[in-house]
Structure 1
């Protein structure tokens, strides 16, 4: 299954019997869907399984919205790699945004304390991941 993420969607092929074999190996052409066996259908579905059942389940809503236009698992993976690679500029931008979130965090109307605490903890965790930490005193005051 990893093949469809790294390389591309699987193509279901068959030997082309209308062309002479010159080098000892038959030329391969794509099989028409009506010729697919049950095994061929399973292979062809790997892309959907990889993309929907595996990759979609591990992403949060914000990341998912950035890659939802990708059609194949390979496109999906390349976009994720591009979004998650941290060069210095990207890391600095993420840090600035996270600091702004921390500075501006407030309870939303109708939000219960446990929801706010979870949201706030995620912001603090994000900052820590990006190399910024606050003292327990400052976090408690916030």
Structure 2
């Protein structure tokens, strides 16, 4: 990370609620440390060739270390109850996918949630006692929920 004086806060803690929000925050957190790209990669760094240079040794060590740092970030950003569900995972991708499957559901579940949210959006009407700001907030809550599901 560049020495810009930026020091991100501790990772957001996931306790089983608000998974979609936690994912967005966690992705940004990992990106701040240049660790996001290793989350979706389940490929181990290639072994060093014979007679590697010092630069190659450092790069290889950095690649291996990134995987452990990212796993540590994920393990430390979940409550103990959630941690017990991923503690047996061997790889970072396996842990991330397990959380995704359990708390986001299958693709079919996600599509059903999107359909329900779109229906809610289409049926939104301003209530008589409601001010424009409150109505706008309700609209944005539904829109943001749709966005969090990736649509």
Output the TM-score relative to the length of structure 2: 0.40
Bigger relative contact order, structure 1 or 2 (CA pairs below 8 A, ≥6 apart): 2
* Higher fraction of strand: 1
Give 1 or 2 for the bigger CA radius of gyration. Answer: 1
